[in-house]
């Protein structure tokens, strides 16, 4: 059982942060960062402003309840309702996959492929809260895109994020089953499909809170690639690229799958030096 959170009332922000950090060590690899993000949310400010000018302020009453939620392994992004990704901030919540920093490797890979060129049509398969599509549209302001997802909850977040970012006129979102019924061509296809094997262990904050349909893809984690990759040749424009996120052990399998369908694969590593992306052209 997680320890009960201490009340933040009658204490300053600095002391409350120190106490919360100690408590969160039981559930988090980044307890101080978690405490700071929760405090900033409770104060209605940013983490930077918190650290620069609020440490001697009284701690808000709401902080203790937020820490209590984190002690049950609830993800920080669900508690605060937002997650930064690439150059944008996205609203997120229960029912949607939380954007990960490693997924930014897909945007880096796409930028490297196009160089001074720019895609005009972008497809994001399994768009979730619009993560990859909206990050790409932020990079290429003349582009338009389509995001497809099997979850109405995710699509609701995606549409709200597009509106908040001023991209609603350039981003269309559609309920769908991967590429079924989608008509190309697209210059850039992005996808972060489920790639975790059904028997693989996961930390509680992922296993108990994030949607399983966005995580698991059969015993070997490859089921959805077997559905996505065969559709790519018919969707890619000449000179285009499909950029797929993979689990770090799946580079060879996904690359071979691409080759079987006439595509040329290249593998790119994430920030930790692990294979994270297969680019198919």
User: Residue 227's domain is classified under what CATH number?
Assistant: 3.40.50.150
pLDDT of residue 107: 98
pLDDT of residue 7: 47
pLDDT of residue 10: 55
* Whether residue 186 sits in one domain with residue 264: yes
Q: What mean pLDDT do residues 190-209 have?
A: 91
- In whole angstroms, what separates CA 170 from the centre of its chain? 20
* Whether residue 105 sits in one domain with residue 24: no
Number of separate domains in the chain: 2
Q: Is residue 189 part of a domain?
A: yes
Q: Is residue 3 part of a domain?
A: no
Look at residues 106, 149, 141, 104 and name the one whose alpha carbon lies nearest to residue 120: 141
* Whether residue 61 sits in one domain with residue 132: no
* Whether residue 205 sits in one domain with residue 97: yes
* Whether residue 156 sits in one domain with residue 125: yes
Instruction: State both tokens at 135.
Output: 């990050």
Tell me the per-residue pLDDT of 169-194, one tens digit each, with 9 for 90 and over.
999 999 999 999 999 999 999 999 99
Q: Is the predicted pLDDT of residue 42 greater than 70, yes or no? A: yes
Q: What mean pLDDT do residues 50-65 have?
A: 96
How far lies 130's CA from each of 92, 149, 180, 232, 243, in Å? 10, 9, 19, 20, 16
Q: Is the bond preceding 187 in cis, omega lying within 30 degrees of 0?
A: no
Return the DSSP state at 99: P
pLDDT of residue 11: 80
Return the DSSP state at 29: S
219 φ, ψ to 5°? -65, -35
Greater pLDDT, 209 or 5:
209
pTM: 0.92
- Residues spanned by the domain of 50: 13-72
pLDDT of residue 200: 86
Q: Is residue 231 part of a domain?
A: yes
Q: Is the predicted pLDDT of residue 1 greater than 60, yes or no? A: no
Burial class (CB in 10 A: 0-12, 13-18, 19+), 120: middle
**CA trace torsion 164, 169, 173, 174 (10° rounding):** 150
Instruction: State both tokens at 30.
Output: 């980044």
Greater pLDDT, 5 or 177:
177
Q: Is residue 77 part of a domain?
A: no
Partners of residue 244 on adjacent β-strands: 191, 278
Instruction: State both tokens at 212.
Output: 């399983």
Tokens 């369908």 sit at which residue?
Answer: 261
Q: What mean pLDDT do residues 200-227 have?
A: 91
CA distance 9 to 56: 14
Q: Is the predicted pLDDT of residue 6 greater than 50, yes or no? A: no
Q: Is residue 95 part of a domain?
A: yes
Which pLDDT band, with edges at 50, 70 and 90, does 217 fall under?
Answer: confident
Which pLDDT band, with edges at 50, 70 and 90, does 38 fall under?
Answer: very high
CATH number at residue 62: 1.10.8
Which pLDDT band, with edges at 50, 70 and 90, does 216 fall under?
Answer: confident
Q: Is the predicted pLDDT of residue 4 greater than 90, yes or no? A: no
Which pLDDT band, with edges at 50, 70 and 90, does 198 fall under?
Answer: confident
Tell me the per-residue pLDDT of 128-165, one tens digit each, with 9 for 90 and over.
999 999 999 999 999 999 999 999 999 999 999 999 99
* Whether residue 91 sits in one domain with residue 60: no
Percent of the chain past pLDDT 70, that is, above it, reads 96
Q: Is residue 200 part of a domain?
A: yes
Q: Is residue 142 part of a domain?
A: yes
pLDDT of residue 251: 97
Look at residues 279, 261, 260, 259 and name the one whose alpha carbon lies nearest to residue 269: 279
* Whether residue 122 sits in one domain with residue 55: no
């Amino acid at each position: 059982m997680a320890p009960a959170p201490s009340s933040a009332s009658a204490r300053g922000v600095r002391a409350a942060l120190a106490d919360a950090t100690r408590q969160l060590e039981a559930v988090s690899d980044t307890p101080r960062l978690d405490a700071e993000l929760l405090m900033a949310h409770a104060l209605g400010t940013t983490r930077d402003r918190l650290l620069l000018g609020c440490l001697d302020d009284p701690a808000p009453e709401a902080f203790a309840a937020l820490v209590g939620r984190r002690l049950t392994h609830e993800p920080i992004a669900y508690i605060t309702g937002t997650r930064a990704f690439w150059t944008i901030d996205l609203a997120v919540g229960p029912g949607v996959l939380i954007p990960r920093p490693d997924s930014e490797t897909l945007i880096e890979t796409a930028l490297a492929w196009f160089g001074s060129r720019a895609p005009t049509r972008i497809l994001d398969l399994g768009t979730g809260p619009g993560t990859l599509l909206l990050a790409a549209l932020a990079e290429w302001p003349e582009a338009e895109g389509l995001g497809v997802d099997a979850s109405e909850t995710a699509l609701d977040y995606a549409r709200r994020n597009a509106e908040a970012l001023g991209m609603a006129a350039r981003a269309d979102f559609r309920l769908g089953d991967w590429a079924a019924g989608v008509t190309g061509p697209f210059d850039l296809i992005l996808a972060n499909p489920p790639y975790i094997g059904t028997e693989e262990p996961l930390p509680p904050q992922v296993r108990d809170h994030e949607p399983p349909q966005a995580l698991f893809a059969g015993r070997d984690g490859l089921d959805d690639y077997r559905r996505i990759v065969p559709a790519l040749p018919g969707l890619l424009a000449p000179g285009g690229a499909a950029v797929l996120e993979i689990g770090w052990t799946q580079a060879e399998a996904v690359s071979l799958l691409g080759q079987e369908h006439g595509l040329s694969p290249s593998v790119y590593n994430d920030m930790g030096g692990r294979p994270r992306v297969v680019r198919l052209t």
